[in-house]
Structure 1
Amino acid sequence: MTTEDPVIRLSEEECWQRLRGSELGRLVTRVGEVIDIFPINFVTDGTSIVFRTAEGSKLIELTVNHEVLFEVDEHTDADAWSVIVRGSAHTLDTLDEREAADRLGLKPWVPTLKYNYVRIRPSSVSGRAFQRTGEPERYGVSDY
């Protein structure tokens, strides 16, 4: 008896389609032995991710180590998916970069001033999708 794999690998384009339809993700940073995770709202810009942040630990950590992970997942009662982006994050420093980012329409979810734009340039993008069904029988009679 064979069981079809319930987990489907998403193509890179399928990953980007899901990212373009989402607004909230998690940014993972690492400085030395300290790993942090931050919820962020974001937009996609082509094949990069842009978010805004205020001065603070997230921005400091990105300055120390620009390598990040970014993860987005969503689910319904019927299905679920998850996309992980590995890449490097850099603040947008030039006036042209910041003006282009302003045109993306990214607004903070929390009423705080977030003057810093950050762009994540991916080195890899991967994702999985699956149907949410019941757990297989764990203790029943097995076929030999």
Structure 2
Amino acid sequence: MSDNNSPVTIIPEESCWGYLASQEVGRLGVSSHDVPEIFPINYYVDGESVIFRSAEGSKMDLLALNKNVVFEVDGWTDEGGWSVMVKGIAERITDEDELARARKAPLLPWIPTVKTIFVRVTPTIGISGRHFVFGPEPKQA
């Protein structure tokens, strides 16, 4: 935890899931052949994991090559902001019971496309968050 005068504080891990659940849109970072890509996605927090829907295409092609991902969500007001990151793996949901549950999640495609693939992001490295207090740049001594 940062000191009381710091404009940046650590969000406790157990609180990060609540921050994630408060939003609907995040960014999925993937990398293949040392080339990073970022995809905006709508998502749903399912316990201590994140699920999203997808169609076949570039995102799924990249995940087939490298399942290691980072998922980031943020929010802000006039006074401050926050950011939460989940570092882990993204895997296509194939278990029929899990698929049935995922299909009941409030995940509708943004655009008129068929998205039959459900993907779960599970933290393996962890989840972390920071809260920021906005303000003017301090004067240098």
Question: What band does the TM-score fall into relative to the shorter chain?
Answer: over 0.9
Moved over 6 A (4+): none
How far off is 1:25 after superposition?
0.5
CA shift digits 1:26-65 (9 cap, x unpaired): 0011112111110000000000000001110100111111
Instruction: State the secondary structure of the residue aligned to 1:128.
Output: strand
1:62 is matched with 63
Matched position secondary structure for 1:19? helix
Q: Distance in 2 between matches of 1:106 and 1:136?
A: 43
Aligned residues: 138
One-letter amino acid of the counterpart of residue 132, structure 1:
F
Task: State how 1:30-109 maps to structure 2 within 5 Å.
Answer: 30-109=31-110
The Cα offsets for residues 95-117 of structure 1, whole Å up to 9 and x where unpaired, read as: 22211101112111222111100
Shift of 1:94: 2.4
Q: Which residue of 1 aligns with 2:21?
A: 20
What is aligned with 1:6? 7
One-letter amino acid of the counterpart of residue 13, structure 2: E
Q: Which runs of 5+ in 1 are unaligned?
A: none
Structure 2 distance, partners of 1:135, 1:34, is 34
Task: Give the AA of the match of 2:114.
Answer: L
What are the superposed Cα offsets for residues 6-36 of structure 1, whole Å, 9 maximum, x if unpaired? Answer: 1010011221110011101000111121111
Q: Is the partner of 1:35 in helix, strand or coil?
A: strand
Work out the percentage of aligned pairs sharing the same amino acid.
43
**RMSD between superposed Cα atoms in Å:** 1.5
Amino acid at match of 1:54: A
Secondary structure at 2:138's aligned position in 1?
coil
TM norm structure 2: 0.92
User: Structure 2 vs 1, CA of residues 125 and 57 (structure 1 numbering), >3 Å: closer, same or farther?
Assistant: same
Give the residue type in structure 1 aligned to 2:132: F
